[in-house]
Amino acid sequence: MAEEAKWYVVHTYSGYENAVAASVMKAAENRKMTDLIKEVNIPMEKVTEITDSGEKTVERKVFPGYVLIKMILTDESWHLVHNVRGATGFVGSDGKAVPLTEQEIYGLGVERKEIVVGYTLGDSVKVNDGPLAGFIGVVDELEPEKNRVRVVVSMFGRETPVDLELDQVEVIKE
């Protein structure tokens, strides 16, 4: 099958997210459709709650009532997901499932691009993307887990720190 799997959003009854996710994967395995339905994800975030007994960290659903499914959309896969108990349908217009864009997927943290960082603190780098493309600066801070690098560039005779994404800069070849 030449088509690539995409992420779709399925609306569920409140509180049924985990049941829907489990049911979709189980139904895909039972019907031997794991080649069409690749992955199910419920975006979660860690939150620190302050109670009378002190602080505690809990996981909370980022989008209650929604489940993300990575799948190849066919009539069979659409019916499988649509007929799972607790699922009310796909998010989209006119009953048609609309896939998430790459930016939405990475913004949600569902998938991560692997970026190989070829520079370290103190290295001279060139900005290769964005409004500061072409500027040269020095790496001041590096946070790969947040996809962020702080580069000090010289603008208008002043040293200015600029926060960029890791893939927006490249090391200067000597």
Range of the domain at 144: 124-171
Instruction: Tell which of 108, 138, 161 closes a domain.
Output: 108
Rounded CA-CA distance 91/93 in Å is: 7
Structure tokens at 8: 């779709």
Whichever domain contains 157, its CATH number is 2.30.30.30
Residue 48 shares a structural domain with residue 96: yes
Report the largest interatomic distance among the alpha carbons of the chain, rounded to a whole angstrom. 66
pLDDT tens readout for residues 18-70: 999 999 999 999 999 989 999 998 988 888 888 888 888 888 888 899 999 99
Q: Which two tokens stand for residue 135?
A: 């500027």
The answer to whether position 145 is within a domain reads: yes
> Domain total for the chain?
2
Beta 124-127 vs 136-143: how paired, if at all?
antiparallel
From the list 173, 154, 45, 133, the residue with the least C-alpha distance to 165 is 133
Whether residue 126 contacts residue 136, with contact meaning beta carbons closer than 8 Å, is answered with: yes
pTM above 0.75, yes or no: no
36 contacts 61 by C-beta, under 8 angstroms? no
The last residue of a domain, from among 81, 108, 135: 108
Q: Is residue 118 part of a domain?
A: no
For 125-168, the pLDDT digits (tens) are: 999 888 899 999 999 998 887 788 999 999 888 999 999 988 88
Considering the domain architecture, whether residues 102 and 155 belong to the same structural domain is answered as no
Domain-embedded: residue 115: no
